[in-house]
Amino acid sequence: MERTWIEIDEQALISNIKTLRALSHGANFCAIVKANAYGHGVKEVAQIASRVGVQSFGVDELDDAIMLREMFPSAQIIVLGYVLQHRYAEAVRCGIELTLADRDDIEELERVAAATASKALIHLKIETGTSRRGILLENLVDFLLEMKRSSHLSLCGISTHFANIEDTGNSEYATLQFSRFTDAFHELENHNFKPLHVHCACSAAILLYPATHGTLVRAGIAMYGIWPSEQVEQTIRKQSINCELRPVLKWKTRIAQVKFLPIGTPIGYGMTEKLKQRSRIAVLPVGYWDGYDRLLSSVGEVLVGGYRCKVIGRVCMNMMMIDVSAVPTVEKEQVVTLLGIDGRNEISATEISRKIHTIPYEIVTRINPFLPRRVI
């Protein structure tokens, strides 16, 4: 029995995968499991996805890719992020597909692959307007000429990433980005490259923009039952698109202590909050080390016995306090839901993100990876 843990709803994850696949119009389905599968647990999520036929995974770093290769010897594994050049040999040996965006990376990977008479599989990342890592369109021809000189490299994919496709009120910029990406793809064709994997569709694009699906879609946040944005969810509802997403993650802890405290008692560091009446306070063995944001001090809520209970005072490193005065029965080691459903109430990642002015992606990905994950 753990004091704080994560529950992964296997059937919810499977349902989301099936829903997104149905909307992908036959494109290869790549499950994005970077950032510890958005906080859900990369091993747990990948195992479930594999059992329902997913054979393509996207990660940010090579260590995750190698771990997945040990689990799935024949799966497609794409590293979407940057890999240090000194680790190229590991990637080639394990058949990991790398995303490149600099000519010196192409030159070094060719040298490494040639040393072992191997073929390195690469995706070219095109910069279309996010201003992150990627090849500028004006430099693409030079890249392709370098590729032609690199006999040990196989160009298996071309990709880009949208900057604001979640903004369904104005798709003008996303349309511009897709047009630039299409131009880049045609340039590849002009140089006789025919990459198997043409991909730019993230969760929002999977849901709303089928023209962007290409031959592979990258299912991220939506696979975990979280809408890419409230606008996306509203648009789905307005257009009556058959899409129901089920939250996959529940975050739970247990009550460490219960005490009655008199009116005027200061709570926690800095004495930022004082009780306005005699109250029953519960101490929880979870804090910002575990990923429960300190900005939720005095504004967050949790569920105890199905009742909403307010966070009192500052969230500490390993503890926090809640007001359980309204809960009929409270016991030591009783389960508390930090994120998820209990009875008729729910604390969602979207709700928490609104309270601290961020996005639900951050709420789940910052949950401490050392917390145990249970598949239920």
Q: pLDDT tens-digit profile of 26-49?
A: 999 999 999 999 999 999 999 999
Cβ neighbours, 10 Å, residue 78: 25
Q: CATH no. for residue 299?
A: 2.40.37.10
Q: Residues for the chain: how many in total? A: 376
Residue 369 falls within a domain, yes or no? no
Which of 226, 233, 218 minimizes the C-alpha distance to 340? 226
| Same domain membership, residue 203 and residue 62 | yes
| Same domain membership, residue 289 and residue 209 | no
Residue 5 falls within a domain, yes or no? no
- State the DSSP code for 111: H
Residue 244 falls within a domain, yes or no? no
274 carries an active-site annotation: no
| Same domain membership, residue 273 and residue 206 | no
| Same domain membership, residue 89 and residue 65 | yes
Strand, helix or coil for residue 83 = coil
Residue 160 falls within a domain, yes or no? yes
Q: Which of 34, 125, 250, 252 is catalytic?
A: 34
**Pick from 205, 238, 271: which residue ends a domain?**
238
The predicted structure's pLDDT at residue 218: 98
The predicted structure's pLDDT at residue 146: 96
| Same domain membership, residue 254 and residue 186 | no
| Same domain membership, residue 255 and residue 196 | no
Parent domain of 182: 10-238
The predicted structure's pLDDT at residue 167: 86
Residue 372 falls within a domain, yes or no? no
Tally of helices (H runs) and strands (E runs) in the chain: 12, 20
- In the numeric block, which tokens belong to residue 227? 């809408």
| Same domain membership, residue 146 and residue 54 | yes
Strands 197-199 and 153-159: parallel
| Same domain membership, residue 176 and residue 92 | yes
| Same domain membership, residue 299 and residue 266 | yes
- State the DSSP code for 299: T
- In tens, the pLDDT along 187-246 reads 999 999 999 999 999 999 999 999 999 999 999 999 999 999 999 999 999 998 889 999
The predicted structure's pLDDT at residue 79: 98
Q: CATH no. for residue 32?
A: 3.20.20.10
Q: One-letter amino acid identity for 182?
A: T
| Same domain membership, residue 170 and residue 291 | no
How many domains is the chain built from?
A: 2
* CA dist., res. 19 & res. 290, Å (int): 31
Residue 156 falls within a domain, yes or no? yes
The ranges of the chain with pLDDT < 50 are none
**Pick from 193, 219, 238: which residue ends a domain?**
238
Q: Which of 18, 148, 269, 332 is catalytic?
A: 269
Terminal Cα distance for the chain, rounded: 15
88 carries an active-site annotation: no
| Same domain membership, residue 156 and residue 287 | no
* CA dist., res. 30 & res. 76, Å (int): 9
| Same domain membership, residue 175 and residue 295 | no
